[in-house]
Amino acid sequence: MKKKGLTRREFMKATAAGTAGLAVSSLLPAKTAIAQPPIKMGFVSIFSGRVAMLGETGLKGAQLAADEYNAKGGVLGRKIEIIHRDSAGKIEEAVRIARDFVVKDKVDFLMDHSSSREAFAVKEVSRDLKIITMVTASETTDHTADPKIWTPYSFRSARQSIHDCCVSGYYAAKVSKEQGLTRWYSISPDYAYGHDSTERFFEFLQKKNPEAKIVGQLWPKLFEPDYTPHITKMLGDKPHAFHSALWGGDLVAFIEQAIMYGLFEQCKFFSNNTAEPPVLKALKKIPEGLHTGSRYLRNVPDTPANHDFADRYEKKYKESPTNWSQEVYSGMLFLLEGIKKAKSLETEKVIKAMKGLKVKAPWGAPDMDGYITMRSRDHTNIGYAIAWGRTISKEPYVTDLYYLPWSEILKEEEEYLKKKGWL
């Protein structure tokens, strides 16, 4: 009859195997041990009030990029996590949030999706705490161009007013020559972006058409509730055309009030910011024949990559992307591809990796082979698609598109920067 239990030899053999198994298993970390912490992005923007669309649609662009990278395993084996807070358009609140993101939430990177008023202050947080900040909304040229306030920790994926205004000035000069538009006005918000973009627009307009004269300029405050006094002033002064850097909800309010007074029947309207899906959607009726720059349109650029981006965004969010969506999406591409290139999250390594980094992006201009570039010398985005045209009441909403090659844009920008003593 067979003895119950193990013999000594069997026991020793089993124990040795078990010990070996334990030794091997001790070398294998538990599941929780190999889980890498996420790459944390702190996203500060405006999520309330008339321009809440700034933060809402910008965050959606960031989340779309994060979800697409996460679906492929993240970056360096780590998932991307985005936390966000509302600055309500207040400078001191944007600064407090940015500091809290770094000090309390321990984010790896900041994404500053603020207007230029807050962005200049957040830049100083970036400088002080030595954390990389991707600026995804501020378009004021000085932000990256002025060497006196430049910092190596700040990068910009947003479009830049010097680039937009070069194209808009060339376009407006062409139209003004054809239609004899010599008396010009402006109405733009009274802060850095409004002044910068308006001054640059007129500079390029008058360079290409010296017959154009500025006969009046109006500077309503940001979030102005009533534009009636400004509209009646223009009606009285009878300009042939006017330029506006109003944007978002402010632009919607202005256009609707201007329609009531018949302003567009008296003079031609030129605006960088009308061709934006939330603006077009918010308007009760889209006036035909307004001259506008492209903010976000699925046909600017009219490429498979841009149409695919619009399709993915619309499938996820049941609405069209905005310029802010694509600026933030582009910023995420620069950051995440920079991290991959650096093979690290270390600040200095990522800074080095992003200098001159080219990424294939939906926003890439056709004459740049669909690539956008983080320029080394000033950490700003170049190579994105910019077009101007006339509004129509149905899709694609802007027709007769006018492009200016980036070779011409960069030549004009260099001349401007040298004149300012910034290059």
Lowest mean pLDDT among 27-36, 172-181, 240-249, 332-341: 27-36
Distance CA(50)–CA(193), nearest Å, equals 18
**Pair 159, 323: CB distance under 8 Å:** yes
Q: For strands 358-360 and 371-374, give the pairing.
A: antiparallel
> What's the CATH class of domain 162-302+386-420?
alpha beta
Q: Is the pLDDT of residue 15 over 90?
A: no
Burial of 243 (C-beta count, 10 Å sphere; 0-12/13-18/19+): buried
Q: What is the dihedral of CA 173, 177, 181, 186, to 10 degrees?
A: 0
Parse the chain into domains and list their residue ranges: 39-158+322-354, 162-302+386-420
Calculate Rg over the CA atoms of the chain.
26
CATH number 3.40.50.2300 given to 39-158+322-354: yes
Tell me which residue has tokens 């010009």: 184
Q: Is the pLDDT of residue 141 over 60?
A: yes
Band of residue 16 on the pLDDT scale cut at 50, 70, 90: very low
pLDDT at 260: 96
3-state helix, strand, coil in the chain (%, to 5): 50, 20, 35
Q: What is the pLDDT of residues 300-359, one digit of tens each?
A: 999 999 999 999 999 999 999 999 999 999 999 999 999 999 999 999 999 999 999 999
Q: Which amino acid is at 348?
A: E
Q: Is the peptide bond before 396 cis (omega within 30 degrees of 0)?
A: yes
Sign of the alpha-carbon torsion through 301, 306, 311, 317: negative
**Across the chain, what does the average pLDDT equal?**
91
Band of residue 290 on the pLDDT scale cut at 50, 70, 90: very high
- Do the domains 162-302+386-420 and 39-158+322-354 match in fold? yes
**Pair 136, 324: CB distance under 8 Å:** yes
Q: Is the pLDDT of residue 270 over 60?
A: yes
Name the strand (E) or helix (H) holding 291: strand 291-294
pLDDT at 4: 40
Distance CA(47)–CA(56), nearest Å, equals 6
Going across the sheet that includes 154-156, the strands are: 80-86, 39-45, 109-113, 133-135, 154-156
CA angle 397, 399, 402 (to 5 degrees): 130
Q: What is the pLDDT of residues 50-93, one digit of tens each?
A: 889 999 999 999 999 999 999 999 999 999 999 999 999 999 99
Q: What is the pLDDT of residues 95-112, one digit of tens each?
A: 999 999 999 999 999 999
Token pair for residue 416? Answer: 């401007």
pLDDT at 166: 96
Residue 150: name the closest of 377, 408, 363, 373 by CA: 377
pLDDT at 277: 85
pLDDT at 34: 54
**Pair 202, 243: CB distance under 8 Å:** yes
Band of residue 35 on the pLDDT scale cut at 50, 70, 90: confident
Distance CA(337)–CA(354), nearest Å, equals 8
pLDDT at 248: 87
Residues found in the chain: 423
Buried/exposed 251-277: b ≥16 CB within 10 Å, e otherwise: bbbbbeebeeeebbeebbbbbbbbbbb
Residue 179 neighbours by CB distance under 10 Å: 11
- Average pLDDT, stretch 359-363? 97
Residue 147 neighbours by CB distance under 10 Å: 13
Q: Is the pLDDT of residue 292 over 60?
A: yes
- Average pLDDT, stretch 230-256? 96
CA angle 31, 28, 346 (to 5 degrees): 70
Residue 293 neighbours by CB distance under 10 Å: 26
